Structure 1
């Protein structure tokens, strides 16, 4: 039996992973559940782990994965009636829509995606246009079988978003993005990089998730969105 706060946290993690492809930070969890300190989040995460709902992966930033969901979430309904949902957050502190109901954790057939090469999570590298090989990804990661591809990550500029050197990111091909989304950006027609996207007053900010890297501010015409992060695959 989970407590109200444990269910709220599990729902917030599930919603954020469905939206961004990576789990939220402890600070984001703290704000979403309106707690005063991260120690409360640590206790909730530990309790969920002990009960077999989530798993923490060692030696990785933000390394959480959901193992299973309680019936109340997997059915997309709240059996506790009247329970408050956690506040969804982004770095602009703008109001977000209510998180969508969590989908049941069911086995989905693996789908082969083309791996288009390597993407820089650091200094941009040359744009990638050729398939190097294919990789099987869970069908549950994709909204459809089309318009998705994968890239191998090189660099550490997105480690605080849970994206490490050597990971494979799953990208939905699209030419637009909302502020705060992690995207593949084509810079000046020849450099490809994986960064968080923000647009304001005719400029585009490509933000790293590592304080060692500076945000790049570029005119809008120099940045083309090539796709949005929807999933991540990690090998050990």
Structure 2
């Protein structure tokens, strides 16, 4: 299907608004978004309907919907990751899940591709991992896993309900050592049943 850049923007805007709000934007909202007149948007919308890219219910406001058969250029790109809370990089803190998202597209332009559904983001609080170049305020991108190799940086959930970001090591006596990457902090030793691995750190995002 031959679509103009403005038509693609209109389709993306309609799709995003329906996903986030549950309804379509108005013609005026689309005009404001594109910086054009309402008449121009109306002409584009009518053209998209004729091409089969858009559907609209007669006599119903906010009913524009992208055709389910249409694959937009960025259809397979998913840069929004669930921000599930804060993670301690000092003393452990209560692990609380927040219903928010971190959109990587708002921080930098990632290469086109799909971010897996087993990936989540945590915001770091504390400086115990600074020697691993993980600072207070950074966002760590983690892969959901319940096991890790020695030396991997993990999201560890303690039996107290606290969560912490540390490097994991298995001691010869069977204990788990959660090792900070800062000489100011002492390692924490746990029995295997006292700690659950929630994921491993696979990347860090930092804003300035």
* Structure 1 consecutive aligned stretches of length 4 or more whose deviation exceeds 4 Å: 137-144
What residue in structure 2 maps to residue 121 of structure 1? 89
**1:179 pairs with 144, 150, 161, which one?**
150
Count of residue correspondences = 129
What residue in structure 2 maps to residue 230 of structure 1? 202
Q: How far 1:134 sits from its partner (Å)? A: 2.9
Q: In the alignment, is residue 221 of structure 1 matched against residue 193 of structure 2?
A: yes
**2:133 pairs with 147, 162, 176, which one?**
162
Give the TM-score taking structure 1 as reference length: 0.51
What residue in structure 1 maps to residue 72 of structure 2? none
What residue in structure 2 maps to residue 111 of structure 1? 79
Unaligned runs of 5+ in 2: 1-75
Partners in 2 of 1:233 and 1:159 — Cα distance? 14
Is the contact between residue 80 and residue 101 of structure 2 (CA under 8 Å) also seen in structure 1?
no
Secondary structure, counterpart of 2:147 in structure 1: coil
Secondary structure, counterpart of 2:141 in structure 1: strand
Point out which structure has higher relative CO (alpha carbons under 8 A, 6+ apart).
Answer: 1
Is the contact between residue 124 and residue 191 of structure 1 (CA under 8 Å) also seen in structure 2?
yes
Q: How far 1:135 sits from its partner (Å)? A: 2.4
Alignment of 1:132-211 (within 5 A): 132-136=100-104, 144-200=115-171, 201-211=173-183
Partners in 1 of 2:112 and 2:132 — Cα distance? 18
Unaligned runs of 5+ in 1: 1-107
Aligned CA RMSD, in angstroms, stands at 2.3
What do the CA deviations read for 1:13-68 (whole angstroms, capped 9, x no partner)?
xxxxxxxxxxxxxxxxxxxxxxxxxxxxxxxxxxxxxxxxxxxxxxxxxxxxxxxx
Give the TM-score taking structure 2 as reference length: 0.57
Q: How far 1:136 sits from its partner (Å)? A: 1.8
